[in-house]
């Protein structure tokens, strides 16, 4: 009768590492092409009030991005209230103040929402 430790050690043996099925799985994961978006280290935010695009490091908190955008605005320009990712035909994704900015992929644009847009 084998002890528990010998059973656990056999699953970690070098012969297990050479299993063709496992090697095939590892190769698929390693050779899987990455999209261009995954290589980008920044997120572009379209600022409607400024009429410009601002870049922020991926992972920047949305509240901090809004703070920096508002600092650049002139008096009388509609203030940005929050940030959303939008894509035609899709429901917008709103970023809360503590949410991290991320690039949502093809067709999605990350942009500010101004207070004027909320007036009916």
Tokens of 31: 């050779």
Q: End-to-end CA distance of the chain, in Å?
A: 77
With beta carbons less than 8 A apart as the criterion, state whether 110 and 74 touch: no
Question: Looking at beta carbons, which pairs linking 68-74 to residues 24 or more positions away fall under 8 Å?
Answer: 69/45, 69/112, 73/49
CA atoms within 13 A on the CB side of 58: 10
| Per-residue pLDDT in tens (0 to 9) along the chain, 120 residues | 544 444 444 444 555 556 666 565 555 554 444 455 455 689 999 988 888 899 999 999 999 999 998 888 777 777 888 999 999 999 999 999 999 999 888 899 999 998 765 555
In sequence order, the β-bridge partners of residue 86 are 109
Tokens of 114: 């101004």
What is d(CA 43, CA 102) in angstroms, rounded to the nearest whole number?
6
Predicted pLDDT of residue 115? 73
């Amino acid at each position: 009768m084998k002890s528990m430790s010998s059973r656990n050690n056999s699953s970690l043996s070098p012969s297990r590492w050479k299993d063709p099925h496992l090697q095939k799985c590892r190769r698929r994961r390693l050779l899987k092409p990455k999209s261009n978006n995954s290589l980008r280290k920044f997120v572009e935010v379209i600022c409607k009030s400024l009429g410009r695009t601002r870049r922020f490091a991926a992972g920047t908190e949305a509240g901090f991005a809004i703070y920096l955008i508002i600092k650049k605005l002139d008096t009388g320009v509609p203030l940005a209230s929050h940030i959303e990712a939008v894509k035609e035909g899709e429901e917008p994704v709103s970023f809360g103040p503590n949410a991290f900015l991320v690039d949502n992929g093809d067709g999605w644009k990350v942009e500010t929402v101004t207070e004027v847009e909320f007036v009916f």
